[in-house]
């Protein structure tokens, strides 16, 4: 179906994982192209036993490309993706720029696969914190219709890119040595600290990261009535976002039913035995593609509430894995039916 595939932002943290996934999952194409900014152009990388030279991202790069999987800053996605689409390329986009565009489907393959059929050249992948929450919400929403969600996130520094990771490492080393450290990414020290702001101030004191969770959740589930109250916090963890989630449903869902619903959902792994101290933690979910759920319990303050703990690798299912899964979904639907690519 796809004779030519491009990975845009191929040398970044997410782009590197996209390359690894395309290789390990044996995504076939006649030709692969790897694109990045001028800073990375000319570098070489290994892929499926061959050496490739990274090319500078330019509109003409897409003249013979069927599919692009892209991880770039918003302003880059804003400028280059329409050029790629005009040249006949389908783009799976990791940036935040196109997510809320009404003409662009926002897709988690396990949740709303049919949405890809309505694409007009662009398919958006959701924000990392939204992706793991909505995948966890999906079986509960189908079974009992979620009316309200209260979520607190504990987001790893990898979500802020390489500068965030450098701040965690450098700041921690400096603090332990009793030395000063000049933070390049965070406005406050992240070492031995939690920062209760991710993104810029937006609606009624909520941040841009928090409002993404509100708007993206409703769009993916196709239900504007769902109420979402998010608090997003940056924590001194290298990788994997954790979330404390409380949902209220129209129909009561018991803990046993919820555990069965989670276990039956593709992409979810249940780790839930508090007596044996078994529950998901970033340290045991790192470099995994699933969403992990534990600490499942009834809300003792409301009759139809259910609380649980959710952890996922934000660079994988929260970004690279979901994008590659969208590409696989496009390929499968085109191969099995008349759905256009």
Residues with a catalytic annotation lie at: 128, 241
Residue 73 has phi, psi (to 5 degrees) of -60, 160
Residues 6+ apart with CB under 8 A from 62: 6, 68, 83, 84, 87, 88, 89
- CA dist., res. 139 & res. 146, Å (int): 10
Question: Residue 233 — φ and ψ, nearest 5°?
Answer: -130, 135
* Local structure of residue 273 (DSSP, 8 states): B
At residue 242, the 3 state secondary structure works out as strand
The H or E element spanning position 6 is strand 4-8
Q: How many CB atoms lie within 10 A of CB 189?
A: 17
Neighbours of 130 (CB within 10 A): 28
């Amino acid at each position: 179906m796809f004779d030519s595939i491009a990975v845009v932002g191929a040398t970044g943290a997410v782009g590197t994982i996209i390359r690894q996934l395309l290789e390990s999952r044996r995504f076939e194409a006649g030709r692969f192209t790897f694109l990045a900014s001028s800073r990375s152009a000319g570098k070489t990388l290994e892929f499926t036993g061959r050496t490739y030279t990274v090319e500078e991202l330019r509109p003409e790069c897409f003249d013979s490309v069927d599919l692009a999987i892209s991880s770039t800053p918003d302003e880059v996605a804003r400028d280059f993706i329409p050029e790629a689409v005009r040249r006949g390329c389908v783009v799976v986009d990791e940036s935040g720029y196109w997510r809320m565009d009404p003409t662009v489907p926002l897709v988690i393959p396990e949740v709303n696969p049919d949405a890809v059929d309505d694409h007009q050249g662009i398919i958006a992948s959701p924000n990392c914190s939204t992706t793991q929450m909505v995948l966890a919400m999906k079986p509960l929403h189908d079974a009992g219709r979620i009316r309200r969600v209260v979520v607190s996130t504990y987001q790893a520094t990898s979500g802020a890119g390489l500068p965030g990771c450098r701040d965690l490492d450098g700041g921690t080393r400096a603090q332990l040595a009793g030395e000063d450290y000049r933070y390049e990414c965070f406005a406050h020290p992240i070492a031995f600290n939690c920062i209760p702001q991710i993104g810029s101030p937006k609606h009624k004191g909520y941040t841009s990261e928090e409002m993404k969770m509100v708007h993206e959740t409703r769009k993916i589930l196709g239900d504007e009535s769902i109420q979402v109250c998010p608090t997003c916090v940056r924590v001194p963890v290298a990788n994997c976002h954790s979330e404390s989630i409380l949902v209220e449903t129209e129909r009561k869902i018991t803990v046993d039913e919820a555990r069965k619903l989670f276990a039956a959902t593709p992409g979810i792994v249940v780790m839930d035995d508090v007596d044996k101290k078994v529950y998901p933690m970033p340290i045991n979910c790192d470099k995994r593609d699933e969403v992990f759920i534990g600490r499942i319990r009834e809300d003792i303050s409301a009759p139809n509430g259910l609380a649980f703990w959710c952890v996922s690798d934000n660079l994988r299912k929260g970004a690279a894995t979901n994008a590659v899964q969208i590409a696989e979904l496009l390929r499968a639907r085109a191969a099995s039916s008349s759905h256009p690519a």
